[in-house]
Structure 1
Amino acid sequence: MASIFGHGLVAYTTSKLIDYKSGKLLLCLAIGSAMLPDLDVLAFNFGVSYSHPFGHRGFTHSIFFALIWSSLLAFVFGKSKKLIYLIVLFLSTISHGLLDAMTSGGEGVGFFIPFENSRYFFPWRGIKVSPIGVEKFFSERGINVILSEFKYIGIPCLVILLVLFFRAKFLKKRS
């Protein structure tokens, strides 16, 4: 998996890309939704295997889960911006599986669970897989993960956020 930092940054960037003036609630929901799929690691504590549909990178990483989750949150919190909330939250949630499918480890992502249980990776897998567990993250391997994410996630997100920032400044000056 990519780390929670990478997942959170992609959600923040997605939120700003779709709705530049997105409020704190939408930003928090988007970042939380991007991190949520990894709660499935708790299944290991109950004897659920990695390859089980409810194992790590299974159902909570699927397109179906992202649709259900984002629809629920958009309905509850979206008020007059339900469609914006739905789009931002869906993209933030599904971005988790997309990033994980670009990592160097694991057994793939169950994008189509519960309809089909196969696990998938993308052909390009340049993001170093993050260790599971906080104590393992603060190690040489953890530093390599952060550097990898900075290169493949941080820099692209920063470029997008800078373009959006300067675009907003330019448009504000013109009005």
Structure 2
Amino acid sequence: MSHAAVPLAGALILGRSKLSLPVIATGLFFAMVPDADVVGFGFGIDYADSWGHRGATHSLVFAAAAALFATAVLRPKRFGVVTLFLFVSMASHGLLDMLTNGGLGVALYWPFDTARHFAPHTPIAVSPIGISDFISDRGIKVLYSEAIWIWIPLTLIAAVGFGIRKRMS
């Protein structure tokens, strides 16, 4: 759920004059959708496969293609701002996953590089796959970790950005 923090912060910083509700909703959806790749487990797709978990759907190319497609469908007045907002919303998923301390890493540069990558510093506790595992002591540790490393910093950034936007208007 913490992946939604990025488009929420972006929406607060940019405001409704630049982003419509459908664009904001799409950004929230885009922030979460890369993890839909877990359905591949049910079809025999291996975690380490290019289309496995944290593979192609977590890449910058996938985020760019999805952002361009969605912007074309939404047809906003501010094409560039909306495309960038949607790209950042989805690309942030893979970037945040690179900060976690578990899994196989992220195929951020797919299809040019199929290797999985982590950030040099991995302070965020990796979230378990599945809701039953999330409601546990480990799940509480993940929520605490995400509050410290995602929600608090993005709340501060959004508050500063919101304040600057309000002063400028």
What TM-score bracket applies, with the shorter chain setting the length?
Answer: over 0.9
Alpha-carbon distance in 2 for matches of 1:24, 1:146: 27
Instruction: Name 2:51's counterpart in structure 1.
Output: 54
Moved over 4 A (4+): none
Instruction: Name 1:20's counterpart in structure 2.
Output: 15
Over the matched positions of the two proteins, sequence identity in percent amounts to 37
| Alignment of 1:35 onto 2:32 | yes
Instruction: Name 2:148's counterpart in structure 1.
Output: 151
Rate the CA distance shift 1:34–1:60 in 2: closer, same or farther, 3 A. Answer: same
Instruction: Name 1:118's counterpart in structure 2.
Output: 115
Alpha-carbon distance in 2 for matches of 1:101, 1:23: 30
Amino acid at match of 2:10: T
Alpha-carbon distance in 1 for matches of 2:71, 2:43: 31
Instruction: Name 1:142's counterpart in structure 2.
Output: 139
Cα deviation 1:113-165 (Å, max 9, x = unaligned) = 12221000011000000111111111111111111000000111110121133
Aligned to 2:78, the other structure's residue is in SS state helix
Contact 1:34-1:92 within 8 A present in 2 as well = yes
Alpha-carbon distance in 2 for matches of 1:170, 1:26: 24
- Map of 1:71-150 to 2, 5 A cutoff? 71-150=68-147
Contact 1:16-1:161 within 8 A present in 2 as well = yes
Alpha-carbon distance in 2 for matches of 1:87, 1:40: 23
Amino acid at match of 1:109: V
Instruction: Name 1:10's counterpart in structure 2.
Output: 6
Cα deviation 1:8-28 (Å, max 9, x = unaligned) = 0112112333x2222321211
Contact 2:12-2:162 within 8 A present in 1 as well = no
Contact 2:4-2:32 within 8 A present in 1 as well = yes
Amino acid at match of 1:96: H
Across the aligned residues of Structure 1 and Structure 2, the Cα RMSD in angstroms comes to 1.3
Structure 2, gaps ≥5 residues long: none
Contact 1:34-1:93 within 8 A present in 2 as well = yes
Instruction: Name 1:164's counterpart in structure 2.
Output: 161
